[in-house]
Amino acid sequence: MVEVKRSYGGVSAADRSAGRRAKLLEATIAVLADEGESRTTMTAICARAGLTERYFYESFASRDEAIVAALDAVAVEIASVAVQAIADTGGDPAERLRAALTAVVSLVASRPDKGRVAVVESSATPELRVRRHALLGSFAELVAQEADSLFGDAAWPAERAKVHGLVYAAGVAELVAAWIVGDVELEQDELVAAATDLFVAVARRH
Amino acid sequence: MVEVKRSYGGVSAADRSAGRRAKLLEATIAVLADEGESRTTMTAICARAGLTERYFYESFASRDEAIVAALDAVAVEIASVAVQAIADTGGDPAERLRAALTAVVSLVASRPDKGRVAVVESSATPELRVRRHALLGSFAELVAQEADSLFGDAAWPAERAKVHGLVYAAGVAELVAAWIVGDVELEQDELVAAATDLFVAVARRH
DNA sequence: ACAAACTGACAGGGCATCCTGTCAGATAGG
DNA sequence: CCTATCTGACAGGATGCCCTGTCAGTTTGT
């Protein structure tokens, strides 16, 4: 297939391709959230995106690559709103963490499909678990860092802080997952309050 | 196929059938741990068990049923060693929880395949997640209960305790998963110590 | 207007798995 | 010893998805 770039519908070739990729990514997120990983076939993604299989291979080499890209996109967005919220909030580390939690919970509340991909479907396959683990790890570090600046000498030593951060991040992820699914009946602010309290609890050494 | 029960090889029909089922369950656990959920096909399970496909349908109606049964078996075993350890250990609730953690960690250390099924592959499919969630929930309740008897008035109210228990159980599950995979370099007793400290932390209200 | 590129629809081969059926050899009970 | 049952091996159709190729119709640039 000879690829000679040309504009079409008033849109450049690069923009069209990028647009199709974005459509496919959104469709992948939607199918993942609605149908689960095993039913997220190339055919299903293309049908949801309203594109034919040929354009799938334009953006992704395989079904797995699309799924990984979808999770990456969601993970980056979640991490970014969290980091942004921390950067925008001054003062008390606990307040900063509450702001980050609020931002993340708001995101997954307004886009449950993204939340579902991030905390539910993200452990479906080995390849996805690598991403999930990396995301949890970055949150764990962030938590450990805030814990240190919150309690100083009263905080856990660095090695322990990493472990506690991981347990905290994974636990909150599960809590959010249960909340999205409806297994935990809490208001949004109660969810954030519980997670904030838990942060204080795991951050301080006794 | 007419089924007339008769002994064979000095073993009754019921015992032979039960033996095959046990073989298939063990094989399912092994394949799940080695190959992951998506590669745990009926063919692979049968090959690992050394049995032919016909006998698969004698015990299970589908691949999914076998996988669920395998996870259930592992979950029951883990929950049972935990409960047993708590029952066998008197006095301080924190000590009892440490005993339970030691028992569980010992089990997954001696049988990493079972550990892998319980904490890694258990979130691969929606059907498995139901089991995982139930298992986490029972641990969460157990944790909440011990927390209450440890701190009394200083413990969190019941509703919060459930949430904290879930976060704790899920966090520890992730920690154990990371430990099994080798992402967390800790001795077995350090792992138990960290988890015990965290229990105390999430149990007490400040 | 015309050729080339772009797009969407769809067909069909390839592959892995599920699931059923057959068949020969081994074993139990009369 | 002989027949019926049990067992393991394997064959083959059915299904669902992957992936490539074709084709007709639309849009662009000359």
Tens digit of each residue's pLDDT (9 = 90 or more) over B172-198: 999 999 999 999 999 999 999 999 999
In a shared domain, residues B179 and B137: yes
A5 domain residue, yes or no:
no
Note the pLDDT of residue A5. Answer: 79
In a shared domain, residues B48 and B136: no
Range of the domain at A146: 70-203
A163 domain residue, yes or no:
yes
Distance between CA atoms of residues A125 and B125, nearest Å: 9
pLDDT band at B75 (very low <50, low <70, confident <90, very high): very high
B202 in contact with A, Cβ within 8 Å: yes
Note the pLDDT of residue A155. Answer: 82
Q: Residue B62's CB: how many other CB atoms inside 10 A?
A: 11
Distance between CA atoms of residues A30 and A204, nearest Å: 40
Residues of chain A in contact with residue B37, where contact means CB-CB under 8 angstroms, are: 124-125
Q: What are phi and psi of A26, to 5 degrees?
A: -60, -45
Q: Percent of chain B scored above 70 by pLDDT?
A: 98
Note the pLDDT of residue A154. Answer: 83
Tens digit of each residue's pLDDT (9 = 90 or more) over A97-134: 999 999 999 999 999 999 999 999 999 999 999 999 99
Q: Percent of chain A scored above 90 by pLDDT?
A: 88
Distance between CA atoms of residues B60 and B41, nearest Å: 13
B172 domain residue, yes or no:
yes
In a shared domain, residues B76 and B58: no
- Residues 158-177, chain A: which have Cβ within 8 Å of B? 160, 163-164, 166-175
In a shared domain, residues A83 and A55: no
Note the pLDDT of residue B20. Answer: 95
Residues 6+ apart with CB under 8 A from B169: A171, B136, B137, B139, B140, B143
Identify the DSSP state of B39: T
In a shared domain, residues B188 and B88: yes
B4 domain residue, yes or no:
no
- Say whether the CB atom of A12 is under 7 angstroms from strand D: no
In a shared domain, residues B56 and B81: no
Q: State the average pLDDT over residues A38-64.
A: 95
Residues A156 and A205 sit within 8 Å (Cβ to Cβ)? yes
* Secondary structure class of B154 (helix, strand, coil): helix
How far does the CA of A25 sit from the C1' of D28, in Å? 28
A97 domain residue, yes or no:
yes
Look at chain A and report how many structural domains it folds into: 2
Q: State the average pLDDT over residues A26-55.
A: 95
Residue A3 pLDDT exceeds 70: no
In a shared domain, residues A75 and A176: yes
Note the pLDDT of residue B3. Answer: 53
In a shared domain, residues A99 and A182: yes
In a shared domain, residues B95 and B165: yes
In a shared domain, residues A51 and A129: no
Q: What is the pTM of this model?
A: 0.92
In a shared domain, residues B195 and B122: yes
CATH at A30: 1.10.10
Note the pLDDT of residue B101. Answer: 97
Which of A145-159, A162-176, B105-119 shows the lowest mean pLDDT across its residues?
A145-159
B20 domain residue, yes or no:
yes
A184 in contact with B, Cβ within 8 Å: yes
Of the candidates B38, B123, B201, which has its C-beta nearest A201's C-beta?
B201
Distance between CA atoms of residues B206 and B34, nearest Å: 44
CATH at A98: 1.10.357.10
Strand partners, A204: A155
In a shared domain, residues B135 and B45: no
Nucleotide nearest to A64 (CA to C1'): D18
Note the pLDDT of residue B102. Answer: 98
Residue B1 pLDDT exceeds 50: no
Q: Nearest CA of chain B to the CA of A90: how many Å?
A: 24
How far does the CA of B15 sit from the C1' of C30, in Å? 24
B5 domain residue, yes or no:
no
Note the pLDDT of residue B2. Answer: 44
Residue B155 pLDDT exceeds 90: no
DSSP string across B40-104: --HHHHHHHHT--HHHHHHH-SSHHHHHHHHHHHHHHHHHHHHHHHHHH--S-HHHHHHHHHHHH
B138 domain residue, yes or no:
yes
DSSP string across chain A: -------BTTB-HHHHHHHHHHHHHHHHHHHHHHH-STT--HHHHHHHHT--HHHHHHH-SSHHHHHHHHHHHHHHHHHHHHHHHHHH--S-HHHHHHHHHHHHHHHHHH-HHHHHHHHTGGGSSHHHHHHHHHHHHHHHHHHHHHHHHHHGGGBPPHHHHHHHHHHHHHHHHHHHHHHHHTSS---HHHHHHHHHHHHHHHHB--
